[in-house]
Amino acid sequence: MQNTTWVAGFRTGVINPNEQIKLAESREFTDETVRHVVHMAGGGTAVRVRLTNRYGAAPLRVGAARLAQRKTGSAIGTDREITFDGAADVVIDAGADLVSDPVDLAVVAGEDLLLSLYIPESTGLATFSHQPGEIAYIVTGDHTADVELSDAQEVPFRFFITGIDVLATEPPPVAVAFGDSWFEGFGTAQSANRRSVDALNARLTQGWVVNNGISGNRLTAEQIGESGSSRFDSDALRVPGVTDILVNFGINDLILGAMGGQPSATTEELIAGFTDLAERAHAAGLRIHAATIGPYAGCVYPGMPLLETQPTRHAVNEWLRTTDTFDSIFDVDRAVSDPQRPDYIRPEFDSGDGMHLNDAGAAAMAATVDLTALFR
């Protein structure tokens, strides 16, 4: 008898559409089908889908849901209906999440799936992933079972989904990438799966890493998304099958608050925040690995405190390099900083905005993770 268990095979971080600081706008749905592209980090013999109405103002009705292997574009291959406690039509209460019944669909790591949801009634602004680096297809009416969606609107977001679990044999080690845009992948090629987490998965010989990065997310303050401290339980500690957590925070704590008239985090606040995550992970019996804070002095977005926050960045990085708080440190800063201007991203790694990594930079970030420490 094989030992099987449910573990996370895909994750996506979601945010409240009504936040004060916004990098993207969500939308409402009424009598529409949305078909998401889902790139699986891990595989198994069956799946279950996690839907959410976490930040919805009213109950969310899902009139139909289907999961399929992707052929190309919006075209589906092998297709399965998704049910919830036996029902194909389900209502998710405002503020709630919902897990589907097991779906008899075998998937493999690196495979693209298409998740189709029919939303019959007005939703208000949808809970969403705002910078996933992937598209969704939207059409009017219930077209969840259509082989391909004709004349679909394409949008660079995900709606109403937080993850997919897989039924795995001989439970593999699973890591959660927990942090900001340097995990979620802003700056890397759209729909190409070249995020730092994808590059890290390509290096692994066992297990996989699911991506719960949120672009703009901060460790010490709310918006964009719940703070890293606030969402650590739901988005890291309680992820099924998790053995390791990779943490990347700091840039947004130092400069993003200016968009909302908020002060930058101090050295003491960041160290306390990192220490808190490590203590909570270790109390749960998990390993935790932290990245140093990367450079951003070349950021092109106006109004950011770029140079005056560098001493704090350097102080926190020095603490990270010398502390025994974490199981390992991956030194992203040294890997992607310009040797001639260490507060700036190397030109060959810069996405063009001075703050985010391109495909080559994301691969360089992934290369800093010590595979002998991960999953040891």
Q: What percentage of the chain has pLDDT greater than the value 90?
A: 97
pLDDT computed for residue 2 by the predictor: 72
pLDDT one-digit tens code per residue, 5-49: 999 999 999 999 999 999 999 999 999 999 999 999 999 999 999
CA-based nearest residue to 67, from 28, 40, 30, 32: 40
- What beta strand segments (E) does 82-148 contain? 90-92, 97-99, 112-119, 128-129, 136-140
pLDDT one-digit tens code per residue, 241-257: 999 999 999 999 999 99
CA pair distance 59, 124, nearest whole angstrom? 10
Mean model confidence pLDDT for the chain: 98
For the chain, the structural domain boundaries read: 4-164, 173-367
pLDDT computed for residue 139 by the predictor: 99
pLDDT computed for residue 280 by the predictor: 99
pLDDT confidence bin for 259, thresholds 50/70/90: confident
CA pair distance 10, 23, nearest whole angstrom? 23
CA pair distance 146, 134, nearest whole angstrom? 21
For residues 207 and 241, the answer to whether their CB atoms sit within 8 Å is no
pLDDT computed for residue 304 by the predictor: 96
Mean pLDDT of the region 111-135: 98
For residues 177 and 210, the answer to whether their CB atoms sit within 8 Å is yes
Six token digits for residue 279? 């203590």
Mean pLDDT of the region 178-196: 99
From 3.40.50.1110, 2.30.30.60, 3.40.50.2300, 3.40.1160.10, which CATH number describes the 173-367 domain? 3.40.50.1110
CA pair distance 372, 376, nearest whole angstrom? 6
pLDDT confidence bin for 260, thresholds 50/70/90: confident
Compute CA 193 distance to the chain's CA centroid, rounded to the nearest angstrom: 13
CA pair distance 91, 359, nearest whole angstrom? 40
| Whether residue 1 has pLDDT greater than 60 | no
pLDDT confidence bin for 213, thresholds 50/70/90: very high
pLDDT computed for residue 297 by the predictor: 99
Q: Which amino acid is at 189?
A: A
CA pair distance 82, 240, nearest whole angstrom? 20
Compute CA 134 distance to the chain's CA centroid, rounded to the nearest angstrom: 12
Parallel/antiparallel/unpaired status of strands 112-119 and 337-338 = unpaired
pLDDT computed for residue 235 by the predictor: 99
CA pair distance 149, 112, nearest whole angstrom? 17
Mean pLDDT of the region 124-142: 99
CA pair distance 275, 247, nearest whole angstrom? 11
Q: Is the pTM of this model over 0.85?
A: yes
pLDDT confidence bin for 94, thresholds 50/70/90: very high
pLDDT computed for residue 82 by the predictor: 99
- Cis before 271 (ω within 30): no
Parallel/antiparallel/unpaired status of strands 60-62 and 174-179 = unpaired
Q: Which amino acid is at 54?
A: R
Phi, psi of 316 (to 5 degrees): -65, -40
pLDDT confidence bin for 170, thresholds 50/70/90: confident
CA distances from 67 to 12, 75, 81, 161, 230 (A): 16, 12, 6, 12, 31
pLDDT computed for residue 108 by the predictor: 98
Mean pLDDT of the region 46-71: 99
CA pair distance 114, 133, nearest whole angstrom? 15
CA pair distance 316, 309, nearest whole angstrom? 11
78 Cβ neighbours under 8 A, 6+ residues apart: 68, 69, 105
Phi, psi of 311 (to 5 degrees): -60, -35
- Cis before 224 (ω within 30): yes
